[in-house]
A and B are shown apart, each in its own frame.
Chain A
Amino acid sequence: MLSITPLLAAAATFTLGALLGAAGAEAQTLKTVQDRGTLVCGVSQGLAGFSIKDDKGTWSGFDVDFCRALAAAIFNDPSKVQFVPLSASERFDALKNKQIDVLSRNSTWTMGRENDSSLVFTGVTYYDGQAFLVPKSRNLTSALELDGSKVCIQKGTTSEPNAADFFETNHINYELVEGDTVADVVANYLAGKCNTLSTDESQLFALRSQFPKPGDHMILPDVISKEPLSPVVRQDDMQWFNIVKWVNFALLNAEELGVGSKTIDDALKSQKPAVKRLVGAEGDFGKPLGLTNAWAANAIRAEGNYGEIFDRNVGAHSKLGIPRGLNELWDNGGIQYAPPIR
């Protein structure tokens, strides 16, 4: 017993410190991360393309790579991340309780979640939204042609009212076929109990990749709801908020400027002012964040730019094969747009 006492005392001190930190006007998340030597990143319990652990225990995915880029910006080492899988119901509490430094877990940015007053979303990394999957044999090109469809949707999700709104607005008759779980919904669809399946677009692509014949089904390009996914941090630390936010912006700006994992060394020699500022060859943009001026260059070298991260995890050259769509850069057909570094 006696031997445990110091440990308990240490634990108590730690808890007290955490509480004091939370109560303070400016928490020191960056310092905590640097002292610890690793970033602690909250992710999903397993969602193909976004955050999933393989049988060797290695995490991969779009949300995972964002945390690796963040670690590279801080430590110049993308491996200094510890991933904490979290369920949907425990994810925000884990952040509030300081169990994690950042939540990078396919979470939709809504006003209600920020009104909570202790959390803040850092910027949209992925524009998701509800869409429709249909057999290719139906020869459809638009959700407006779904009149008379039987639509499989998971019971109790926001997908139900979203679809109802869309169909009503567009005077489309449909029959709802509910399933209790995602697995039920897929089974119903594949058994022909419905001829349309609706949920968020990213999930439709993930589900389709598991179908016996993925090529026989298509996802219509219409997106009928807004599900902007963003990392989340606590509201009590502006410096940390800015670091997470600007790592995302740096990855987007890198793609726009043609700077990627394969071109980063050429970029260091670039004469273009915007490129020089991004890679730290000009100006002083990393130090005010508490990082080095090579923060963005280190993140890009480690994980690639936004387009590379998208492509390998969820995009055209991944198993999911999700078109860039809304997530294409603003000057190339999409709406992804980052403020400039200057």
Chain B
Amino acid sequence: MTVGVGLFLRAAVAGAIAAAAFVLPGVFASAQQIDMNVVDQPGYVPSPDEEQLSGVYEKQEVFFRSSEQPGTIMIDTSQRFLYLVQPNNRALRYGIGVGRDGFQWSGLQKITRKQEWPDWRPPPEMIERQPYLPRFMAGGPGNPMGARALYLGQTIYRIHGTNQPQTIGHAVSSGCFRLVDDDIIDLYGRVPVGTKVIIKQAVAL
């Protein structure tokens, strides 16, 4: 069973938030704290321009001190970044979309399987919220799972691509971590099955 992506709610609100995000950095900061209410759009194929991230969520190498081995994936859900640890205090940083409140989880996992152009089977909870969703969608462009999926342990969660690049930087998915397709393809090529994945949440009070 595969948990896909967004949750059913008001697309107009999401559009307003996304639009504001590109205009005012100040608004962006607060928008980031708001769950993005966005409907899945199976079948939608984003344009190359939409796929091109800019600013902080664009893939980049950053200073990153870690006691974890190079090759380890560290996911910082509150900052919406995925780090692939590199040697010499570096990491490759990718912008991600993360699980909404209530779907957030943390812990240590390993990549147990890799899949190109994964199929999509929305689980019953998602069908309940979005009854019009297809029960099955074969992998390929327009699939909400995007171009690649990395399976996390024995869980139903994945690191996967997306056909909705505008959701990067937001809390939208059902617990999965989503990257734009270029980024998930890049990451997929760098990490083997067995890669350690550490998922960090904001500290509980």
Chain A residues engaging chain B, CB cutoff 8 angstroms:
141, 215, 218, 221, 223, 256-259, 262-263, 266-267, 270, 272, 275, 311-312, 316-319, 321, 323, 325-326, 328, 332-335
Say yes or no: B65 contacts A335, CB within 8 Å.
yes
> A interface, by DSSP: helix, strand, loop or mixed?
loop
Task: Tell me if B104 is interfacial: C-beta within 8 Å of chain A.
Answer: no
Do the beta carbons of A333 and B55 come within 8 Å of each other? Answer: no
**Cα distance A215–B54 when bound, in Å?**
7
Beta-carbon contact of B29 and A312 below 8 Å: yes
In the complex, the number of residue pairs spanning A and B with C-beta atoms less than 8 Å apart equals 61
Question: How far is it, in angstroms, between the C-alpha of A332 and the C-alpha of B198 when the chains are bound?
Answer: 12
Q: A317-B25, A335-B65 are in contact. Are A258 and B56 (CB under 8 A)?
A: no
Sample (13) of A-B pairs whose CB atoms are under 8 Å apart: A215-B55, A258-B202, A258-B203, A262-B33, A266-B205, A312-B29, A316-B56, A317-B28, A317-B29, A317-B32, A323-B56, A328-B64, A335-B65
> Given A312-B26, A317-B29, A333-B91: A259 and B205 within 8 A (CB)?
yes
What is the interface size of chain B, counting residues whose CB is below 8 A from a CB of the partner? 28
Contact with A along B9-30 (1 / 0, CB 8 A): 0000000000000000110110
Q: Could you tell me if A272 and B29 are in contact, using CB atoms closer than 8 angstroms?
A: no
B79 CB–A CB distance under 8 Å: yes
Q: Which residues of B contact A221 (CB under 8 A)?
A: 61-63, 90
B205 / chain A contacts, CB cutoff of 8 Å:
257-259, 263, 266-267, 270, 272, 275
CB neighbours of A334 from chain B (8 A): 63, 65
| A-B residue pairs, 9 tightest by C-beta | A258-B203, A317-B29, A325-B63, A316-B56, A333-B64, A270-B205, A323-B62, A221-B63, A266-B205
**CA distance in complex: A332, B7 (Å):** 30
Question: Is B83 positioned at the interface, with any CB of A under 8 Å from its CB?
Answer: yes
Measuring CB to CB, which residues of chain B are less than 8 angstroms from any residue of chain A? 25-26, 28-29, 32-33, 54-56, 60-66, 74, 76, 79, 83, 90-91, 93, 200, 202-205
Task: Contacts A333-B65, A333-B91 given; indicate if A318 touches B203 (C-beta within 8 A).
Answer: no
Which of these, A215, A311, A326, contacts B29 with CB under 8 Å? A311
| Residues in A neighbouring B62, C-beta threshold 8 A | 221, 323, 325
- The closest CB in chain B to the CB of A330 belongs to B65
**Chain A residues within an 8 Å CB radius of B64:** 328, 333
> Which of A262, A317, A318, A334 neighbours the largest number of chain B CB atoms within 10 Å of its CB?
A317
Residues of B within 8 A of A267 (CB): 205
Name the distance in Å between B12's Cβ and chain A's nearest Cβ.
23
Q: Determine the residue in chain B with the shortest Cβ distance to A262.
A: B33
A317 to B70, CA, bound (A): 28
- CB A59 to nearest CB in B, in angstroms, measures 16
Given contacts A275-B205, A319-B25, A323-B56, 5 further A-B contacts (CB under 8 A): A221-B62, A257-B205, A262-B33, A263-B205, A333-B74
- In Å, the complex CA distance between A319 and B90 comes to 24
Contacts of A223 in B (CB 8 A): 63
The answer to whether A257 touches B203 (Cβ under 8 A) is yes
Q: Say which residue of B32, B74, B203 sits within 8 Å of A256 (CB atoms).
A: B203
B29 / chain A contacts, CB cutoff of 8 Å: 311-312, 317-318
Which residues from B are CB-within-8-Å of A266?
Answer: 205
Q: How far is the CA of A221 from the CA of B90 in the complex (A)?
A: 8
- Least Cβ distance of B159 to chain A in Å? 19
Give the Cβ gap from A132 to chain B, nearest Cβ, in Å: 13
Least Cβ distance of B182 to chain A in Å?
15
Query: Contacts of B32 on A, CB cut-off 8 Å?
Result: 317
The minimal Cβ–Cβ distance linking A53 to chain B, given in whole angstroms, is: 17
Find chain A residues with CB under 8 A from B83 CB. Answer: 333
> Which residue in chain B gives the minimum CB-CB distance to A267?
B205
Residue of A nearest to B52 (CB): A215
Please, how many angstroms separate the alpha-carbon atoms of A262 and B30 in the complex? 11
The winner among B65, B74, B90 for most chain A CB atoms within 10 A is B65
CA distance A256 to B91 in the complex (A): 21
CB nearest neighbor in A for B204: A258
Q: Which of A262, A316, A323 has the most CB of B within 10 A?
A: A316
| A83 CA to B147 CA, complexed, in Å | 53
In Å, the complex CA distance between A218 and B58 comes to 11
Closest to B32 in A: A317
